[in-house]
Amino acid sequence: MSRFVTRFAPSPTGRLHKGHAFSALTAFRAAQDAGGRFLLRIEDIDPTRCKPEFEDGIYEDLRWLGLDWEEPVRRQSDHLDDYAVAVETLRQRDLVYRCFRTRKEILDGIGHAPHGITDAARPGPHPADEEAELLQSGKPFAWRLSLDRAHDTIGGAAWDALSFFEEGHGPDGETGRIRARPELAGDVVLARKDAGAAYHLACVHDDALQGISHVIRGLDLFEATPIQRLIQTLFGWEEPVYRHHRLMTDANGKRFAKRDGSVTLAALREGGVSADAVRAEVLLQMDL
């Protein structure tokens, strides 16, 4: 049995559009071609944006496209305890710190920080007395990864050697073994104030747990890879191969995006478009 395992990991924050069909079909076909496994994972840890009806829509739309996947599907909101355990492990290793700042406070900090965005993205721990006071006041906080501590923990040589293997390509055509520079991401949030978990940690936790050998996803997530490689390294999790794919575009060369109100697969279906027609359009743009 091939150990090729890949996944499609949508967030149920809206109905799927052709860009999602492209991504799901790319991963599904790759698994078929490799005689491997295809998993569907629901990344629903954002309580403000994820909705059960959008999750139902994902199953409906993917089935309509002719995809099938292994059951049970992992729904991240069912596993918040797992991510909390992972954050606690990092806390014990002094790799994360509490951050009570609001998004606005951090953005405002960009103007005042000596190195602008680079410093503001690494706000650092609060002074001990201030933290104690904030904790006492019951103000919510996020856990942020300390890049300084991560650097000291793995050591300068391992930090400089951090890399990932790209079988697809980055936005500038990057391919092959690529140096990962997690410092560009800053002290990312690993546990949100409102959810106790956050994307980067939940994603790499599950990729490791599910034995994902190939992370196949859109180019828009290429920039997420360096920090995800660092998190994997801190936990000693296995390194998957990455295959970022181009983003499907419409007739005007514009990419499909939820926020631009792209036509959804559900609307196309209701308008009488067949799954075959959508698949054919998707296949035309696929890097074969």
Shortest Cβ 47–ligand GLU spacing (Å): 15
11 binds ligand GLU per the rule CB under 6 A = yes
- Residue in 29, 43, 233, 278 binding ligand GLU, rule: CB under 6 A: 43
DSSP string, the chain: ----EEEE----SS--BHHHHHHHHHHHHHHHHHT-EEEEEE----TTT--HHHHHHHHHHHHHTT----SSPEEGGGGHHHHHHHHHHHHHTT-EEEE---HHHHHHHHHHSTTTHHHHT---PPPHHHHHHHHHHT---EEEE-HHHHHHHH-HHHHHH-EEEESS--TT---EEEE--GGGT-S-EEE-TTTS--HHHHHHHHHHHTT-SEEEEEGGGGGGHHHHHHHHHHHTPPPPEEEEEPPPB-TTSPBP-GGGTPPBHHHHHHTT--HHHHHHHHHHHS--
Q: Tell me the window of 3-11, 30-38, 141-149, 186-194 that interacts with ligand GLU (CB under 6 A).
A: 3-11
Q: Tell me the window of 8-16, 57-65, 160-168, 188-196 that interacts with ligand GLU (CB under 6 A).
A: 8-16
Shortest Cβ 207–ligand GLU spacing (Å): 8
217 binds ligand GLU per the rule CB under 6 A = yes
Shortest Cβ 45–ligand GLU spacing (Å): 9
73 binds ligand GLU per the rule CB under 6 A = no
Q: Tell me the window of 9-17, 49-57, 164-172, 183-191 that interacts with ligand GLU (CB under 6 A).
A: 9-17
192 binds ligand GLU per the rule CB under 6 A = no
Give contact residues for ligand GLU (rule: CB under 6 A). 9-11, 43, 203, 217, 221
